A and B are shown apart, each in its own frame.
Chain A
């Protein structure tokens, strides 16, 4: 296949950036999207041009490091991560537009690389159970119904890639934050800190400059792990019940 690539190039955070057009020849349908970019980068390097920088690591759809806004969709046309997207999803002669995640809270570092450390800070605000190593009860001490454990696992599958933010017209981080709030609110281990957790994580999310949720559902539609927006509803419930009976007096 022969493809035209319109790629966002930006030297660094201060640079204004813009699109540059490249032609990718001899693209095989068995290549992954990132392998297609690898080949382009080797060609650019041989010509003495700076290769296109993009984030990626595990290339098996679980680390959440890859991003890319492809033809107007986070992670491209399939509901997978970019690293799992293969060129057979495109056709010969097509033009593909590749951009970084666009969100105020995810500033561009270089080319297609953005800074997502805001997500780390949301977790640091309360996305944990405060137990130290050792001194915990036996793992089977507290039975947990399979239904609840499965629901918690559904929420826990979030890979923190940020596609939800990129998909949202408000750049809201509600799906990401609610997935962690839900996981821990569902499990007995998370009960003690349930209220403060919801309050603190929501406060941090706002402080990072993510937008509000207007229930368009774009996040769920684009999430490569199928995290459900029912988590957002659950977080809203958690948050409201927390603020009316706050432990943070």
Chain B
């Protein structure tokens, strides 16, 4: 099988314009005859639902939270990139495109990434028009900052709550369409399956989380805007409810899953404090602009520190190893996320970690406070410092912060073509749920950009092109496929409720997370991955024989919700390991220890691995089939990323 990315021919800068023109249009009077389902109400889902409803389609929007405003996009702190070049510092659409391709370690499609950079400028206009209170300069114009090591200032922000403000903007647009009667909202409703009829997506099966009712919904197209799968690691910066279920069930219905092993580990998170830990908290990347990352120069000093015999401030300057500044003199503490994370792991593996668990490094503001005064640092990072103190009980103005990398974002996801359509016609994936624009590593402040680009400016065109080819007649919800899919969902739930084993769901989730983190995390080896595969298979077996899910389906049952999600994470985990085993190279967030340069940097193999690894589900217990989409680079020259 050959995967057709449907990238339009022609010069890079003209592809999207041409494509929009060649897309078919739905007659304005006919739009009301088409139904579209949007699952998930984060940046991608809310913006898509609102925009499609504005065009006149009938939209049903689903989310598992109690309100669309809770989606985890809300937690993004730093900002959103856009190639506005308001700062006159040399930014352009092409530069944002180039930075994104390079940052992704050359594992993304040129055509998609260029389009993303192109529409980025419109996103800011849209958000401002909605009343998003972006930061401004004294003259009243929008402020920008440089973010995540970018050489230009192209990041727009709203204090440390950019994701919140953008999501509330999209949520307000969505709310307006709910009021207009064009969007029907289904909060506390989880998608359990996709209904595929004659090879086309025609609806979904859902579970009402309050009553347990299993219901079907028919539509002409289904949009999955359900976020990433970072919670496969149990501990991550994702929300507790973030899950892969919608994407995974779509995968089992025929949607290929691409590059699942590409996960992003964020370097600046608050370290794990104990077994009770339920999630990890991100400290904004912006802290690395002023904080210096270090560990003790020797294991002996680190040992004393861990035993509490000395404090960080007792360690003399010459006994400190500012390892990022030492290894990467030109980028220093601002190296990209994957490089910063990996190096923190190395020094901790050497026994130089600084907290009780030995898995933490210092992020020190002593010199910045000395240089700029405490007041300035307070203005810049006050809320982050407060949050740190709230969680750890320590004052970062007095003591260096302790940080450690944590899973933050997943670049992999459902395979989509240029139209954001999966391999199942009529089924789309937007935002973090798809695999497309970030390659093997995402740049800071690009997730918000992609979610909104997909929802506001891409899908309204591409879904129209598909719908225009369908007859404007209602999808028949009485088709036997709806009943069959519904029955299968019911059986799956009954199966979970019947096990009545001895262990709570989290027991399995935590063990899965540990396997993934140890063997398919920041650094991976062939041997480790093979062990991980066997471990996951054994764990899966144990889960299905010994998990304890109390209560019934016909009530609010949070244990059942979790069990459903963990069952899917167990299957996804195995595929991630397969994908990591297959990719015999290191690139971006995927670091295979066997493939590194003499000085320990990621060693890509462009000759053999410049492709998207898309996986096809072949049935329960069967190995998935790998289908390759070769990546073609017509504009960018592939180089080794270097931040020395």
Question: A interface vs B, CB < 8 Å?
Answer: 11-12, 28-32, 34-36, 38-39, 41-42, 45-46, 48-51, 53, 55-65, 78, 80, 84, 86, 88, 109-110, 113, 115-117, 119-120, 123-125, 127-134, 136-140, 142-146, 149-150, 152-153, 156-157, 159-160, 183-184, 187, 189-190
Contact = CB atoms under 8 A, between A and B. Distances in A.
A35 B140 contact: no
Interface of B: 47, 50-51, 54, 65-72, 74-75, 84, 86, 122, 124-131, 133-142, 158-159, 161, 163-165, 168, 171-173, 175-176, 178-179, 185, 187, 210, 237, 239-241, 273-274, 276-279, 281-282, 387, 390-393, 456-457, 460, 502-504, 506-507, 548, 550-551, 555-556, 558-559
B129 A50 contact: no
Nearest to A38: B278
Nearest to B132: A156
A42 B142 CA distance: 49
A120 B178 CA distance: 10
Given A56-B240, A156-B168, A128 B173 contact: yes
B133 A64 contact: no
- The interface centre, meaning the residue of B84, B172, B387, B460 with most chain A CB atoms within 10 A of its CB, is B172
Given A57-B70, A58-B72, 17 more contacts: A35-B278, A46-B503, A46-B548, A57-B72, A58-B70, A60-B282, A62-B163, A63-B71, A86-B393, A123-B175, A133-B126, A142-B128, A145-B136, A145-B140, A146-B138, A149-B134, A153-B165
A103 to B, nearest CB: 15
B66 A189 contact: no
Contacts of A157: 159, 161, 164
A34 to B, nearest CB: 7
Q: Which 8 residue pairs spanning A and B have beta carbons closest together?
A: A143-B140, A128-B172, A136-B129, A153-B133, A152-B133, A133-B51, A139-B128, A30-B273
B140 A57 contact: no
A119 B175 CA distance: 11
Contacts of B392: 30
A68 to B, nearest CB: 14
Contacts of A143: 136, 139-141
A137 B125 contact: yes
B556 A53 contact: yes
Given A30-B273, A109-B556, A117-B67, A129 B131 contact: yes
17 contacts: A45-B550, A46-B503, A57-B65, A62-B164, A63-B74, A88-B393, A109-B210, A110-B555, A116-B67, A124-B178, A133-B173, A134-B126, A140-B86, A140-B142, A146-B136, A153-B159, A189-B130
Contacts of B239: 57-59, 63
A51 B558 CA distance: 9
Given A31-B274, A123-B171, A156 B165 contact: yes
A83 to B, nearest CB: 9
- The interface centre, meaning the residue of B47, B129, B135, B159 with most chain A CB atoms within 10 A of its CB, is B129
A149 B175 CA distance: 23
B16 to A, nearest CB: 14
B69 A64 contact: yes
Nearest to A87: B276
Nearest to A153: B133
Contact of A146 (B131, B137, B178): B137
A35 B276 contact: yes
A115 B551 CA distance: 21
A109 B188 CA distance: 12
B359 to A, nearest CB: 15
A113 B65 CA distance: 12
Contacts of A109: 210, 556
Contacts of A187: 131, 133
Contacts of B84: 139
Given A32-B278, A133-B460, A124 B67 contact: no
Contact of B130 (A38, A61, A131): A131
B622 to A, nearest CB: 33
A126 to B, nearest CB: 8
- The interface centre, meaning the residue of B54, B124, B126 with most chain A CB atoms within 10 A of its CB, is B126
A141 B543 CA distance: 58
Contacts of B51: 132-133
A119 to B, nearest CB: 7
A41 B502 CA distance: 14
Given A35-B278, A57-B72, A183 B133 contact: yes
Contacts of A120: 67-69, 175, 178, 185, 187
Contact of B559 (A51, A124, A146, A149): A51
Contact of B126 (A51, A127, A136): A136
Contact of A160 (B67, B159, B276): B67
B130 A128 contact: yes
Given A123-B171, A130-B176, A64 B136 contact: no
A161 to B, nearest CB: 10
Given A110-B555, A127-B175, A31 B75 contact: no
Given A50-B551, A84-B391, A146-B138, A113 B556 contact: yes
Contact of A57 (B168, B240, B504): B240
A215 to B, nearest CB: 26
Given A56-B240, A88-B393, A133-B51, A46 B126 contact: no
Given A35-B277, A56-B240, A156-B165, A133 B140 contact: no
A53 B274 CA distance: 23
B64 to A, nearest CB: 9
B67 A119 contact: yes
A189 B131 contact: yes
A64 B67 CA distance: 10
A132 B54 contact: yes
A119 B68 CA distance: 11
A149 B133 contact: yes
A165 to B, nearest CB: 14
Given A34-B278, A62-B161, A139-B125, A45 B548 contact: yes
A136 to B, nearest CB: 4
B176 A153 contact: no
Contacts of A31: 274, 276
A3 to B, nearest CB: 14
Nearest to A42: B504
A56 to B, nearest CB: 6
B172 A138 contact: no
A60 B391 CA distance: 10
A109 B558 CA distance: 13
A64 B175 CA distance: 17
A189 B128 contact: yes
A88 B392 CA distance: 10
